[in-house]
Structure formats: C-alpha cells, structure tokens
Structure 1
Amino acid sequence: MSSLRSVDLGLIDEVLRGGERGYILDFSNRTFADFFIRELDIDIDAPEYAKEGTSKGKRLRCFLGLVDNSTAGRTLRVLWDHREALRPAGQPDPFPRAAGQFASLITNLEGNAPSNPVNVVQAPKVEMIEFDRFQQRLMSIRDLAPHERGYEFERFLKDLFDAFRMTAREPFRLVGEQIDGSFVLEGDTYLLEAKWLNKKVGQAELGAFHAKLDQKASWTRGLFVSFGGFTDVGLHAFGRGRRLICMEGRDIKNALEEGISIDRAISLKVRHAAETGEVFTPLKKLLARFEN
C-alpha cells in the first residue's frame, strides 16, 4: 500500500476535481477508464477500486491507497500532465501551490518505490468503438418503414449506450405508459424517450415525457432523442430548468463522425443545461464552447 496520508489524498482530490465532488478533471467514466488503460495499463474499473464508491473520485482515492508508491507516483504524474494540458496558456492556476505540492508528493512516492508493482490490476484489452459502423447503421435506419424504424432506432441507441458502458436497458412498460429505455451516466439514472418522426418534436411531446419523469423519483433525469430535431416554438413554450435534456439525430451523427463518445456528448449537454437552464443546444455549439 502507498504511503499517502489522508491529507495527501485530500490535496489530490481538491486539485484534480473537475468542478464537482466525484468528478476528475474533464473525464467521463469511459474516458477515465480509457486514460488509465492507455497511460498506465491499469483497469481503474476493477472491483477492487470501487470499495469506497463508484464515482471517479472515490475510485481514484481507493486505488491510490491500495497500490504501491511507485504506481501511485506514476499515476499522479500523468494526471498532473493531463491537468496542465487542459489549462489555457497564461491562465493563473487556481491552486498556486499545487505544482510544488504535487512535485513533492511524486518525489516522495518514487523515492520509496518497491521493485515490483503491488495491488495493481492490469488493464483489459481496449474495446475499440467502431464509430463508422454505428454511423452506417444509423443512416440505414432511414430506409425502413416508419413502425420498424422506431423500434430499430431504440435498439440502435441501446447498443450505442452499451458500447460506452452506460448500462442501457431495453424499452419497458409500466401501467399506462411506455418507457423507451434507460441508462446510467455518472451515477445518475436517465429515462429515455426516442422518436424518429417525419417532423420536428414540439411542446406536446416534450411535455408528455416530462410528465412521466414527474411520476418517478425526484432524482430521475430524462433524455429525449428526436432524430428530426425540435421546433424552436416548442422548445420556447416548454421552458427552461427542466429535468430533461434533448438530443437530435444531427448530434449523434456529429459525435460519430468526430469520434466523440456518446457519454461525453450527453455530459456536455448536462453541464450546459445545469449552467443555463436550456434543455437543447446543438452538440457542435457545445464542443466549440467547452472543447476550445
């Protein structure tokens, strides 16, 4: 086990936090796992590292407490490098003493390193996401009959969410209502409404889905996916500050074309909605805002 103290782990959590407790820098669950695989050849999703909780912050804290000093030091070094790559040039560090404190931690850890890694779970082979195949499959749905098209769109979304480890569930029926599916993102459960219509979705459809959410637990969120998009009038009438976010077919197509994980795309929409109250903003605008 590493020699990190509670005060050291507190510093790490504070400096690497991505704005909210449980978050780490700009990582989604998927990109966090992929980062550890590619940079460290470690499976951060291993059950051993989830004993204190499944959030990224808790997994990292548990991991750092279990592994040897050398592995802990190497991990902090690559995470610090990633943090610095994200920080705009010339922008003051919100933690002015962080660089010196991190350097001291890493030096101490690497100076007390065993010869062999301890408590390190080796990474599995990286599952390569076939973005082109998903894009081709999405486009092929357009040629189906309307009824078949709707069901195939739901199956497509479930497979897409599963590919990014979002624990998707197939459509299910409750008394008096149909739910098109559900998935988990950053520990939150989302109910799904999926529409592939020959028109844009308006206030009535948005309101009907929100009414379903109102009958569920207060922490339930919703994702409304309309391949044809949403009317400006409907979005305006529906209002702001709701429990759902919206995604159109163009968002999914753009994400697949750019190789952007679907969990990352949805997370950007969630963050924007939290900051502005807007339930829908095109993904391209969000990428320009958050990624540049």
Structure 2
Amino acid sequence: MTNIRAIDMMLIDDLFDMSSGYVLNFSDRTFALFFASELGVNIDDPRYAQGGNSKAKRLRYFLQNVDKPTVVRTLNALWEYREALRARARESERIEDAGKKLRSLIGQLGGRPDNAPSAPPGSPIINKAKIAQIKGDLLSITALQPHTRGYAFEKFLRDLFDVYGLLPQDPFRLRGEQIDGSFQFGNETYLVEAKWHGKPLGVAELHVFHGKIEQKAAWTRGLFVSNSGFTEEGLAAFGRGKRVICMDGYDIYEMLNREIALDEVLARKVRGAAETGAPFLRVRDLFTN
C-alpha cells in the first residue's frame, strides 16, 4: 500500500523536522506515548521498523502502510503538536503556506480535489439517507433495557461522527479509566464521554471527565454528551474556561430535526465557549433562525 507520493513525503519531512531521523522534538519514549495516546498505536511494534528504526523511518513506513483515515488522523495530530511547540517557543513559520500545503495533502487523502468549492478539503459528502437512519437509531435506544442503552448510545455517536467525516475511534481503556471514544474536529482531538441517564447530570460527572482530559496532552479537548442534560447547579459549580464542551439529547434532536450539520454545531459551541467560557450552550440558542 502506498498512500503518499515521494514529493508529498518531502513536505512531511520538512513540516515535522524528519531529515536527520528525528520527528519534531520527540524522544523515543515521548514518541511512543504520543502514538499510544493520540492514535491508540504501538509505534514501537517491529512491523513499523521494516524501513529502519529511527523515529522518522518508522513514521514514514507507518504512513505508507496504514489506511488513509489513519494517515489523516496522524498528520492532524502531528500538526497540532507542531503548532503547540511553535506557539510555546514563539517561533515564526519557516515554511511558506505550511498549513495550506498540509490541508491540500489531507484533502487528497480524503478523496476530494483541492479546488472543491463547496467544502474544505476532506469534508464528507453527507448522505441524507444515513442521517435518517441515525435519527431512527436514536429513537430506538429509548426502547432498550437500561443496561444496554449506554453502549447503544456510544455506537450512535460513533456513527454520527463518522457520517460527518470526524474520524471517530471506538471506546478504549487506559490504565484505570474508560474513554468512550474520540474524534477529530479541525486540527484538534476530542475525547468523548457519553451518558444515557434518567436524570440530568451534576458536577461530579463533569469533574471526572475533565480530570481525564487534564491527564492527556495539553491540546486534548473533550465533548460530554448527556442525553438527559445537565443540572444548572452542576454547570455553575463546574465553572468556566474548561477544555470541555457539552451537548444534551435535545441538542441532538434539534440538530437532526433541523438538518443542521454536526460540524457547524461543534464550531458554534467551541466559539461560544471561547467567547463566554461556558461549557454548555444550547443548539436552540446558538441557531436562533
């Protein structure tokens, strides 16, 4: 399998400082931790060292031999890390149009041409029939037994993220904690907490999830989806300026019923959180027309 042309690999080498066998500022240990936490991949697996054991050679082999969605996730995660390093060091961009060139490459991998007028490179063509199916899936969850609803809700969300091209990952377990999945939005990775309870959730659940986020890389974000919503007291106690945004079941209903794109909902929630500090802004308030 060959995912990337030689000329595009040259761009990747330049972007991520790979010419001397290194990748950005990673040590062997932090490189392995990065791949484990961001992608759920053991980059130290001998199969990725078939082209050589340096970090750069392992990364090149990995990118050429995994599926294209994984390549896109990897490039997005590395770009986020690169930009965080550059911002911390207050370094100017040394490669002309670096972000534009990477987006173009990601667009090619996503199957859309560079000049596509209707959406950014890599954006999916939304299947309305699939959206209708997802709406039916959400309604069917209410008829399930309580102990199975949580798992069905996680699957529903994964299907929803997948329809909008957000590259979801299935739930996974780290030492001492369960993560209900993750997805890629823009250049950021979001961990997911999904709850289907009979009553609105309070501050305890919000703090537990935020604690998981704080234990990950500084650029990690979180989406907490509670079908039953959140108590006003819990949101007030949780406070502002957190790395978590929230959705409730009515948000999802409004989004699907009004045919509002999930990526637009997330974009407005993220912007609203940045402007107000509030983790939960309702879809009906963000989309008043």
Q: TM-score range by the shorter chain?
A: 0.5 to 0.7
Secondary structure at the counterpart of residue 234 of structure 1:
helix
Secondary structure at the counterpart of residue 287 of structure 2:
helix
Q: How big is the shift at 1:261?
A: 1.6
Cα distance in 2 between the residues matched to 1:152 and 1:222: 20
Cα distance in 2 between the residues matched to 1:212 and 1:60: 30
Tell me: CA distance 1:202–1:57, structure 2 relative to 1, closer, same or farther (3 Å): same
Q: Structure 1 length normalisation: TM-score?
A: 0.58
Secondary structure at the counterpart of residue 241 of structure 1:
coil
In the alignment, residue 193 of structure 2 is paired with which amino acid?
E
Conserved 8 A contact 2:195-2:226: yes
Listed as ranges, the gaps of 5+ residues in structure 1 are 1-45, 64-70, 83-120
Cα distance in 2 between the residues matched to 1:146 and 1:170: 21
Tell me: CA distance 1:126–1:167, structure 2 relative to 1, closer, same or farther (3 Å): closer
Aligned pair 1:150/2:150, yes or no?
Answer: yes
Cα distance in 2 between the residues matched to 1:224 and 1:61: 28
Cα distance in 2 between the residues matched to 1:179 and 1:124: 26
Percent identity (aligned): 48
Conserved 8 A contact 2:126-2:164: no
Conserved 8 A contact 1:246-1:280: yes
Cα distance in 1 between the residues matched to 2:174 and 2:159: 22
Could you list the per-position Cα deviations for residues 222-276 of structure 1 after superposition, in whole angstroms to 9, with x for gaps in the alignment? Answer: 0000000000000000000001000001111111111112122111101100111
Please identify runs of 4+ aligned residues in structure 1 that moved more than 3 A: 53-57, 59-63, 123-127
Cα distance in 2 between the residues matched to 1:233 and 1:127: 37
Q: How big is the shift at 1:187?
A: 1.3
The structure that has the greater radius of gyration is: 1
Q: How big is the shift at 1:131?
A: 2.4
**Residue 259 of structure 2 corresponds to which residue in structure 1?**
259
In the alignment, residue 128 of structure 1 is paired with which amino acid?
N
Aligned pair 1:195/2:191, yes or no?
Answer: no
Listed as ranges, the gaps of 5+ residues in structure 2 are 1-67, 80-97, 106-112
**Residue 235 of structure 2 corresponds to which residue in structure 1?**
235
Superposition RMSD in Å: 3.3
Cα distance in 1 between the residues matched to 2:102 and 2:225: 33
Higher RCO (C-alpha under 8 Å, 6+ residues apart): 1
Secondary structure at the counterpart of residue 194 of structure 1:
strand
Q: Structure 2 length normalisation: TM-score?
A: 0.59
Aligned pair 1:58/2:57, yes or no?
Answer: no
In the alignment, residue 133 of structure 1 is paired with which amino acid?
Q
1:1-292 correspondence to structure 2 within 5 Å:
58=100, 126-129=125-128, 130-288=130-288
Secondary structure at the counterpart of residue 161 of structure 2:
helix
